Amino acid sequence: MTQQIWSDRGHFVNGSWTGAGATSHVENPATRQTIATITSGTIADVDRAVSAAKAALPGWMELTPQQRGSFLARIAQLVDERQGALADAMTREIGMPLKLTRMIQVGLPLITFRSTADLASTFPFEREIGNSRILLEAVGVVAAVTPWNYPLHQIAAKVAPALLAGCTVVVKPADLAPINALLLAEIVEAAGLPPGVFNVVTGKGAVIGQHLATHPDVDMLSFTGSTHTGAALARDAAAQIKRVSLELGGKSAAVLLEGCDFEKAVKATVGACFMNSGQTCSALTRLIVPASRVEEAAEIAVNAASAFVLGDPLDPATRMGPVISEKQRDGIRTMINQASADGATLACGGSDAPPNLDAGYYVKPTVFTAVDPNSRLAQDEVFGPVLAVLSASNDDDAIAIANNSRYGLAGSVWGASREHAIAAAKRIRTGQIEINGGRFNPLAPFGGFKQSGYGRELGEFGVEEFVEAKALQL
């Protein structure tokens, strides 16, 4: 029996629910069953949301940072209280195993709202430089266009700093995973934010996202998604000299240098590659190892991959759920077949369907060796559980292979010492690098080099994206 987890209420605009008229279905990728019907927004819906955000902007800007921060703290409190319900809904919506959903898909947004609220008393909205008083003021109305892979986290990473900066926002969530955004709208409503400060319009990106990018009353576009779509939206926004922040694709490398803790490094890379069924923009999808240890790396990687039990994401025994959609699954399988055709050696997994999982969109954890650094598998973002093992003749070669990418979002370096790893990391052109397994820091800047985009999210760096500097000469 199909379980509906959201009853359509329309869009959340100007503090109320409006425009209900469900026209699109949200599917559980593990079962292919419809779990919600969602209103597909129109240009008129976008115009109403932007108008509400514009009208609310002066009053929201007049509040002190501490007052705005108190609203964020209240949102965090409500997210905390509703963690169980949010995690259950998002597991059904995107397919990540429930335990991980609660920890990551709900836990990270909770940290973001809390930590951004804390910045209200420390972020330098005003400072003196010589005879000038520098004011950091809200950029204005922000359009936040977000993806489906870490949907609530990406909304929080945009909305929390934008609100603290004094901006008002219109959120356009991914049409494959909009329920979390609507649940957040209910939380915002309960938190008592002034009408128009936070708005959500659901529907197709080709309609809503493009209109937001060109809307004359939108002052900034913050987008997370594919490089192709990000480039198109940036072109649209450029005609109005609109501020744009882009967090796009990645093909991140894990570089293993001689003398590192080899087994630990390979296992950690496999885990980072396969997280969220490989649907992570910063996933470590290239494992670069000394040429003399390729066979050893492959054996460790295959053993690690075998520990990823595929299945129902609500089952506690499941470590990997489905990918988000049929289109996504088929694209990943095509890439796997192409890698074999290009000469890479399939060490485990493959494009055939996993047994006894016909209902959902599942892909086997897959490892390739003998991968050409210039092949499609080494250059293109697969966005699925596929690891490419590449060999390097020395440290310089490993770094050159890591930099041989049009992307530069994340990465990791493992060395015999922290200093050895840091020295190599400084030569890699990417926005964030783990050193010997250093854990993710939700206060550190997140964003990319090259075609991975521009701008930074999280912590005080995230707030800086949403302010303009004004100098008062005294």
Q: What mean pLDDT is predicted for residues 227-236?
A: 95
Check if 247 is active-site.
yes
- Looking at the fold, whether 241 and 357 belong to one and the same domain comes out as no
Question: Is residue 3 situated within a structural domain?
Answer: no
Question: Is residue 128 situated within a structural domain?
Answer: yes
Q: What mean pLDDT is predicted for residues 366-370?
A: 98
Give the single-character DSSP code of 427.
T
Q: SS3 for 474?
A: coil
* pLDDT single digits (tens) 22-35: 789 999 999 999 99
* pLDDT single digits (tens) 401-433: 999 999 999 999 999 999 999 999 999 999 999
Q: What mean pLDDT is predicted for residues 184-200?
A: 98
Angle between helices 107-118 and 65-81 (to 10 degrees): 160
CA distances from 67 to 107, 125, 134, 136, 434 (A): 24, 14, 21, 16, 36
- Looking at the fold, whether 42 and 19 belong to one and the same domain comes out as yes
pLDDT at 301 over 70: yes
- Looking at the fold, whether 129 and 243 belong to one and the same domain comes out as yes
| Both structure tokens of 123 | 């972020």
Question: Is residue 446 situated within a structural domain?
Answer: no
Question: Is residue 4 situated within a structural domain?
Answer: no
* pLDDT single digits (tens) 348-362: 999 999 999 999 999
- Looking at the fold, whether 306 and 201 belong to one and the same domain comes out as no
Question: Is residue 1 situated within a structural domain?
Answer: no
Check if 299 is active-site.
no
**Predicted pLDDT of residue 403:** 98
| Both structure tokens of 422 | 């840091």
User: Structural domain of residue 321, as residue ranges?
Assistant: 252-441
Higher local confidence (pLDDT), 156 or 205: 156
pLDDT at 114 over 50: yes
- Looking at the fold, whether 333 and 388 belong to one and the same domain comes out as yes
Exactly one of 260, 273, 281, 348 is catalytic; name it: 281
CA distances from 297 to 263, 303, 369, 379, 433 (A): 8, 10, 9, 20, 21
- Looking at the fold, whether 318 and 193 belong to one and the same domain comes out as no
Q: What mean pLDDT is predicted for residues 176-193?
A: 98
* pLDDT single digits (tens) 233-260: 999 999 999 999 999 999 999 999 999 9
- Looking at the fold, whether 221 and 343 belong to one and the same domain comes out as no
- Looking at the fold, whether 231 and 319 belong to one and the same domain comes out as no
| pTM for the structure as a whole | 0.97
Question: Is residue 170 situated within a structural domain?
Answer: yes
What would you measure as the largest C-alpha separation in the chain, in angstroms? 73
Exactly one of 247, 381, 457, 465 is catalytic; name it: 247
CA atoms of 387 and 301, how far apart (whole Å): 9
Q: Where residue 1 falls among pLDDT bands split at 50, 70, 90?
A: very low
- Looking at the fold, whether 263 and 193 belong to one and the same domain comes out as no
Question: Is residue 447 situated within a structural domain?
Answer: no
Domain tally, the chain:
2
